[in-house]
Structure 1
Amino acid sequence: MRRLCAVQQKIPCVFLTEVKEEQSRKRDRQQFQVVATETVNPVALEANVDGALATEKLDGTCCYVTGYKGRPHLWARLDRKPNKQAEKRFKKHQHAHHSCKGFSWNVDEDFKTVPETWIPAHRVKRHDGRLQPDEHGHIPGWVPVETDNKQYCWHASVVDSNARQALVLRPCAKDEDALEVAAVPLDDLLEQTLELIGTNVNANPYGLGSKQQPLHCLVSHGTVPLKDPPPVDLQQLSSWFQESPEGRVEGVVWHCDDGTLVKVHRHHLGLRWPDGGSSLSDRAVVIHVDEHHSGPDLFTFFSSLNGHRFSRLLDLK
């Protein structure tokens, strides 16, 4: 199955977009909204998007598995962002031009410092040796998840560093309609990007766990295919998002045969998210986590349920 490479690359919309002069539904303080037109993006057409694999766009926080101190390790997304003065200039430019484009950055002075362990994402552009921000003024990158850093405690909860395993939600091999939670060796996840979802991530649109018993897991990008997705047509996609049980997703990412990725999310179509539950939450789930004698509490919890099947992911509490 095709997966995103470890870049946190900027994925273009499957449709050409235009700017509307109204408050963004997606980004705070952005006084314009990027919406899809009915014209399919030439990038998508050239990559034969009609023959691509359509997968669910998950709503969480991006992670990356790569080496650290000689071992496979989970890394958290950390963008290098502008300082207050640069952010103020950038917002002023956005408001005046209704666009992020055309703004001039001073990379040496405009950005906040990051930890020494920070690394940039693979496809961040450089100019004269200096990393260049994306159109939103961020320089995407990663920091290793350390168990003693409370900021990344939910990332750490899904990794057993001693056993070198991670808790992964994925389609069940024996039942295509169900999901499974499995303890997967980090070696098997090397150079993959994944989404951390759960109780304390992005307002928990999937309804996982509770404050008393938080639940989190990782989902490798590109591993949750959509069943009978609509064609790449603006009106049909809009209807699918609003009327189909399978359309209760944040968005769609198409994985083309040549490696091209294109996406659409509800905000592009002026639709709300979340909006009355999600298709992922309603799928059955089976637990495949063998007994753990040590490690994070989540591993102990899931191993106590090894072999159990729940009719809905939402019921896993």
Structure 2
Amino acid sequence: MRRLGSVQQKISCVFLTEVKNEPSTKREYQKFRVLATETLNPKVLESDIQSAVPTEKLDGTCCYVSAYKGKPYLWARLDKKPNKQTEKRFKTFQHSTKGSEAFVWNVKEDFRSVPESWIFAHGVTQCNGYPQPDENGHIPGWVPVENDNKQYCWHSSVVNYEIGAALVLRPHTEHQELLEITTVPLHELLEQTLELIGTNINANPYGLGSKKQPIHLLVSHGVLEIQSAPAVNYQQLLGWFQGCEEGKVEGIVWHCSDGTLIKLHRHHLGLRWPVEDPFLNSRPVLVNVDVTQYECDFIPKSLFTTFSEFNGRQFDHLKDICFE
């Protein structure tokens, strides 16, 4: 079994957190809230967060590009999770333990089955050659997105393996305030993680497309840099999220020079998400998709052909793109 997709060192909150015994505003099934205190997590100072690059955290689903069947492929995130019996036992343990003991896993028997093509992510702890679950009881991993798998039809809509390209949303190379929807060769995205956003992903906070004509796009992690990020201070960050147009985002991910990723979610500050008119929708977007350059028989009404019909057209907002 090989490893794929780096699980970088991640710090889930820039501040130390505390647990409140009240229902989560982020996850309906969660009976507690994790809120940030005003104390910086000492680990973020070790990673030199002051010199890190702040980027917008997008609300989508994580993807990865790596080789499969001898060519670049899109991979979807699929964590290996405990079966029902083990999950019940694990939750009982979590509520009863005082932290002086560790939960004992049987990796061969305690987890739900996954496709044969599933592989665990690089960086996952191993014991005797077997991947070990994280603190949530999950083993992070990936499955290749194949065109005949209906479970990942929205992933499939943004890639074309015949031409070896993906539909990507990114800042325009010459005008950073302008967004661009374009095709990017998959080999240029190798070993990158990306976020899939769109109509049928996480209740579509960005208002993309419609039920009749869904729109989905890939966005490379770290590509949407925040230009006016405040100092890493609780009150300044709170004020930025509440009062700044650029602060209408799900969160911030700081990319540190040592590879560490440090996150801050609006929910950590007790703020709601989604918000009306998120920042991603405030920027103009140019469509730069031309399928005539490829010798390929595209599926009628695919996203590639539909966007190609709008090639060269600029929209004031992402949500203004309508194919109907």
* Counterpart secondary structure, 1:176: coil
Name the Cα RMSD after superposition: 1.8
Match of 1:111 in 2: 111
- The 1:18/1:103 distance shift into structure 2, 3 A limit, reads farther
Match of 1:6 in 2: 5
For 2:96 and 2:277, how far apart are their aligned partners in 1? 37
- The 1:217/1:287 distance shift into structure 2, 3 A limit, reads same
Conservation of the 8 A alpha-carbon contact between 2:238 and 2:269: yes
Shift of 1:295: 2.8
Match of 1:216 in 2: 216
Match of 1:92 in 2: 92
How many residue pairs match? The answer is 312
* Counterpart secondary structure, 1:295: coil
Unmatched tracts of structure 1, length 5 or more: none
Shift of 1:14: 1.2
Match of 2:316 in 1: 311
- The 1:80/1:124 distance shift into structure 2, 3 A limit, reads same
1:59-138 equivalences in 2 (<5 Å)? 59-96=59-96, 102-138=102-138
Shift of 1:104: 3.1
Conservation of the 8 A alpha-carbon contact between 1:32 and 1:98: no
The percent identity for this pair of structures is: 60
Is 2:298 the counterpart of 1:299? no
- The 1:8/1:25 distance shift into structure 2, 3 A limit, reads farther
For 1:102 and 1:282, how far apart are their aligned partners in 2? 47
Shift of 1:98: 9.6
Unmatched tracts of structure 2, length 5 or more: none
Shift of 1:9: 3.8
Conservation of the 8 A alpha-carbon contact between 2:9 and 2:261: no
Shift of 1:102: 4.1
* Counterpart secondary structure, 1:191: coil
Shift of 1:85: 0.7
Match of 2:204 in 1: 204
Conservation of the 8 A alpha-carbon contact between 1:21 and 1:98: no
Conservation of the 8 A alpha-carbon contact between 1:30 and 1:94: no
* Counterpart secondary structure, 1:36: strand
For 1:151 and 1:10, how far apart are their aligned partners in 2? 29
- The 1:112/1:121 distance shift into structure 2, 3 A limit, reads same
Q: TM-score, normalization: structure 1? A: 0.94
Q: TM-score, normalization: structure 2? A: 0.92
The code of the aligned residue for 1:33 comes to R
* Counterpart secondary structure, 1:280: helix
* Counterpart secondary structure, 2:45: helix
Shift of 1:27: 3.5
